[in-house]
Amino acid sequence: MSAKHGLGRGLGALIQDTPPTESPKETTAGVVRVPLARIRPSPWQPRRRFAADALAELADSIRERGVLQPLLVRRVGEGYELIAGERRFRAAAEAGLSEVPVILMEATDHEALELALVENLQRQDLNVIEEAEGYRALAEKFGLTQEDIARRVGKARASVANSLRLLNLPVSVRQFLSEGLLTSGHAKALLSLEIEAEQCRLAEQAVRDGMSVRELERIVARIKRAPRKPRESRSDIPANHLNRLSEALHQRFGTAVRVEPCRTLANGKKIKGSIQIDYYSNEDLDRVLGLLGVSGDL
């Protein structure tokens, strides 16, 4: 069997001359050729999206020059399981190859997942959601702390923590991030909002309007801006009733609705109340007006 190597130090430290357990068809510095049909994709692969055009270009290159960089595999039963190099594996299959060069490693499930994640991160092949899901897999499947994960992938703990926070966003927003339509900067601004419906609506607007991170941050800041401190007064609506009313209005309009109750000052004077309904585009305004029974074509 091949010797085990340390993790979290980059593939250069992991890929060393390793004699295979079977008589290789061809061997060059630890590289052995095996049938493509005997290799199965890794269940630990953090990467989920493979651009069809880029894969086709790589397949054309492989037809002309072959697989120049060996795949990294481990033995599983009578076959092999891919650890690193799934894009090359897929392109080789598309190119019609029957055999590919591999480097055979001994690795546990834990080590295979770490290697798959580290290899992809080093190549910058993961989108931000795939990266976050890879970190979550390390944490949930193997009980690693954020500090452990950061050390293994060579990043700051804060970077890992910020990446994991992206998984708190709604599914539709995560999809925009996966497709590169929104950046981590957009996501950070959206995460500061507490209402999921607002996050989704603003994300859609940001994509539709090609909004920059700064533009989105300004809109979020307006939504979150606290009202001026009121003078000494008493609310005319009990707090618990006000909360129920605000929630009912939010459910009705699908956006933030702020109810400011009438207040009575210490001298007995009344201060008027108000209702503020947020909207984010002319179409959104038409939707809100429709719910109010008002036509926008006045």
Looking at every residue in the chain, the average pLDDT score rounds to: 79
Beta-carbon contacts of 179 under 8 Å, excluding residues fewer than 6 positions away, are 127
pLDDT of residue 195: 87
pLDDT of residue 228: 54
Tens-level pLDDT at each residue, the chain (298 residues): 444 443 444 444 333 333 344 444 544 447 888 888 888 887 766 666 666 777 788 788 888 788 878 888 888 888 888 888 777 888 888 888 888 888 888 888 777 777 777 776 666 567 888 888 888 888 887 788 899 888 877 888 999 999 999 999 999 999 999 888 999 999 999 999 988 888 999 999 999 999 999 999 999 998 888 665 545 667 778 878 888 888 888 888 888 888 888 888 767 778 788 898 888 888 888 888 888 888 766 5
For the annotated catalytic residues, the residue numbers are 86
pLDDT of residue 223: 85
**Which CATH architecture fits 11-126?**
Alpha-Beta Complex (3.90)
| Structure tokens that stand for 258 in this block | 């702020």
Tens digit of each residue's pLDDT (9 = 90 or more) over 164-190: 999 999 999 999 998 889 999 999 999
| Structure tokens that stand for 127 in this block | 């989108």
Task: Give CA 183 to chain center in angstroms.
Answer: 10
Tens digit of each residue's pLDDT (9 = 90 or more) over 7-66: 444 444 333 333 344 444 544 447 888 888 888 887 766 666 666 777 788 788 888 788
Q: How many CB atoms lie within 10 A of CB 119?
A: 22
| Structure tokens that stand for 266 in this block | 């210490």
Amino acid letter, residue 96: G
What is the pTM (predicted TM-score) of this model? 0.54
The overall longest dimension of the chain from CA atoms, in Å, is 96
pLDDT of residue 177: 94
Q: Where are the domains of the chain?
A: 11-126, 169-224, 233-291
Amino acid letter, residue 222: R
Length of the chain: 298
Contact predicate 275/220, CB 8 Å? no
Q: How many CB atoms lie within 10 A of CB 92?
A: 24
Task: Give CA 241 to chain center in angstroms.
Answer: 39
